Structure 1
Amino acid sequence: MLDLDKFYNKHIQEIQPYIPVDPTEELVKSSGVKSQDVIRLNANENPYGPVEGILNEIKTSDLSIYPDSLQRKLRSSLENYTGMNFSELVAGAGSDELIDLLFRSFVSVGDSIIDCEPTFGMYNFGARIIGAKIESVPRNNTWDVDIVGILSKVTPNTKMIFLASPNNPTGNLLNEKDLLEILKTRIIVVVDETYFEFAGVSLAKYVREYPNLIILRSFSKWAGIAGLRIGYMISNSKIIENIIKIKQPYNINVAAEIAAITILSNPELSLEKVGIMLKDKRKFESELSKVKGIKLFPSMGNFVLIEFLDFNSTDVYNELASNGIFVRKFSDTKLRKMLRFSIGTTNQMEILISILKKILKV
């Protein structure tokens, strides 16, 4: 029998997979509730979905032809939306693809990258795929990055530093002064601004001053098209040019491209839903801040991280799941007492608050 193992790269054989959220049908099976009663608050998705008219635009498009490999219309739309130049923009099949392309561009087996845990797991996953070493610098007790710790981990083999602003799952912004200090290392610095539209704060203005800065953004959260997989990168034209060289020729499918262009033609419609979610987040924080025995961390995203000091977080998670409400739990020991709650529709949040108060006996 052919021994396939000998063909694999050793680090691929040993890799631990990324753990994604389950689809709704699996949540139905595990909870016993009906599909229409499932409340997904575990993936920071936009429960309102995309703006009206997108499906009609997709239906009337020609799906029989390949999309434009150079993304001309899409990048022009992004140019108008971001205020950046056409040559400073490129789109990917979600920011996940762009992260993968960055690893292919800058990192080889045996190199190292730096991230700041707890944070988005795809940076770590991307490093494992390429066979790179991961230097994870723990955040402090307010979840800010440890500048001294980061700088102490920099070696000649360090190729990229990943930072998120707002950070997932903690919700805090990257301090501007901290970023500027890290950029002085002259190492590629990737700032993930997936939740930019919720925070309203961006560090993209430094792209032209620092050629080693890369900004990532997404349509999944604010625009409600996570299922279409589309995000984009902002950086200097040389980095963008090289990403275009190595990306899959038709990486953005026609449906995703049309959806993004339609959203960008009138972004205020999507931003209205963002405003509703932020209002509901404030109400959720206000209601839960009155509860003793838990700690809420201030968040600039569409989610809230809660530490259960006097309660068992696993019990809370299971009680919520039995009621059809699914939130995010973590294997990280630093987060073992915590759960992350995505912001749902106004009605979903009212149900969540009511059930959570019963669980916590408020």
Structure 2
Amino acid sequence: MEGKPILNQLSPYKQGKQTKEIQEEFGLSHIVKLASNENPYGYSKMVKERLSKELPEFNIYPDGYTGELRNALTDKLNVKENELIFGSGTEEIIQLICRSYLQPGLNVVVAAPTFPQYKHYALIEGASVKEIPTDTNGYHDMDRMLEAVDENTKIVWLCSPNNPTGSVIPKEDLHTFMSKCPDHVLVVYDEAYYEYMDKELDVHALSYINKFDNLITMRTFSKAYGLAGLRIGYGVANSNIITTLDKVRGPFNTTSIAQKAAITALEDQAFIKHTYVTNKHVKASFETFLDDIGWKYYDSQTNFLLIVTPTSGTEVFQYLLENGFIVRPGELLGIPGTVRITIGTEDDMKQLQKLLFMFHKEKTKVFE
């Protein structure tokens, strides 16, 4: 039995080898995963303590309205209850947006490279995709993206900080874009790495919600909050957009344990500050190392760096894999000759630097 014809052109998500597989294949005792931009410092101890004492009743359906977390976020973000939607990570919200607004004959505009699920789910709904290359530094080309909008454009995806380049959209560029973007186009502003940004670069996208009826912004508890395994994220938009998305949302799409963990994680802003400060320090040290060996990298306001490699990204990936480090080769991201590396703990990054230095020396000899 066949599915939609478009599915013949798409591939299912294929995760990388798991830690145990790699350990057995290469005879390693320790593996460091730096491929998925997870928080290497785990998650708030408050979450662990509270869940150990107050586990939800697993035989009872979760609160489909996500009431407690909704109330916590309305207070923190200064938004209204009916301006929030929750999903199993922001990826589900991307699915909801595509399901709600797209159909054959319509199109979406995205940067390239960017988070691939924007394109993936748009194609599933029958829409066409206009990919606008980022500039040479990995920043969204906002002028060209605006030029690509036509009467059949339904969604523009903006990822800031952008995955996989790490760049942010300047405030003046976003304001200009929103002021000129036609009202029939939904602008999705994905802030998954919001907590890692330097605060002076914050565009305060939430303040635009009441100024522009065609904007939704998304954030997640998977990255800085360290709850990737629980899958919970949220979107903020005017009530009309939220009502539309709620019509296609499953009635119990976020679990009781994820809701409870997110509420507690939100309370522990000391953990978020520690994550931000430590990540910034370790990233700066890694950037200095890359400068010293002459490897270029993209500006990043995230917990990862996209690095230009002297050979194929796949070769660097394989070398690091055989030595116990999992990174993301750029060939899988549409950017050959790069690797995307999550910023790990200081000790892990020092060991990684030793390996990269050895690789660099070996490659330098080849070209001498």
Q: C-alpha displacement at 1:65, in angstroms?
A: 1.1
**Counterpart Cα distance in 2 of 1:30 and 1:149:** 46
**Counterpart Cα distance in 1 of 2:15 and 2:305:** 19
Match runs of 1:122-161 below 5 Å: 122-161=117-156
Q: C-alpha displacement at 1:88, in angstroms?
A: 1.6
RMSD over aligned Cα atoms: 1.9
Q: Which runs of 5+ in 2 are unaligned?
A: none
**Counterpart Cα distance in 1 of 2:358 and 2:58:** 50
**Counterpart Cα distance in 1 of 2:326 and 2:118:** 24
The answer as to whether partners of 2:38 and 2:222 remain within 8 angstroms in 1 is yes
The answer as to whether partners of 2:328 and 2:340 remain within 8 angstroms in 1 is yes
Q: C-alpha displacement at 1:100, in angstroms?
A: 0.2
Give the TM-score taking structure 1 as reference length.
0.92
Judging changes above 3 Å, is the alpha-carbon distance between structure 1 residues 178 and 332 closer, same or farther for their aligned structure 2 residues?
Answer: farther
Equivalent residue letter for 1:25: K
Aligned to 1:244: 246
For the residue of structure 1 that corresponds to 2:300, the secondary structure is: coil
The answer as to whether partners of 1:303 and 1:342 remain within 8 angstroms in 2 is yes
Alignment: residue pair count = 353
**Does the alignment pair 1:264 with 2:260?**
no
For the residue of structure 2 that corresponds to 1:289, the secondary structure is: helix
For the residue of structure 1 that corresponds to 2:23, the secondary structure is: helix
2:193 aligns with one of 174, 192, 195: 195
Aligned to 1:316: 316
**Counterpart Cα distance in 1 of 2:333 and 2:157:** 21
The answer as to whether partners of 1:18 and 1:122 remain within 8 angstroms in 2 is no
**Does the alignment pair 1:94 with 2:89?**
yes
Aligned to 2:284: 282
Q: C-alpha displacement at 1:150, in angstroms?
A: 1.6
**Counterpart Cα distance in 2 of 1:353 and 1:97:** 36
**Counterpart Cα distance in 2 of 1:113 and 1:43:** 26
Judging changes above 3 Å, is the alpha-carbon distance between structure 1 residues 74 and 147 closer, same or farther for their aligned structure 2 residues?
Answer: same
Equivalent residue letter for 1:302: N
Moved more, 19-28 or 252-261: 19-28
**Does the alignment pair 1:213 with 2:215?**
yes
Deviation per CA, 1:230-263: give whole Å up to 9, x if none.
Answer: 1110111221222223211111101111110011
For the residue of structure 2 that corresponds to 1:296, the secondary structure is: coil
Aligned to 2:8: 13
The percentage of aligned residue pairs carrying the same residue is 33
Deviation per CA, 1:203-234: give whole Å up to 9, x if none.
Answer: 22211101111101111110111011111101
**Counterpart Cα distance in 1 of 2:102 and 2:286:** 42
Q: C-alpha displacement at 1:51, in angstroms?
A: 1.1
For the residue of structure 2 that corresponds to 1:18, the secondary structure is: coil
**Counterpart Cα distance in 1 of 2:333 and 2:60:** 49
Aligned to 2:357: 357
Q: Which runs of 5+ in 1 are unaligned?
A: none
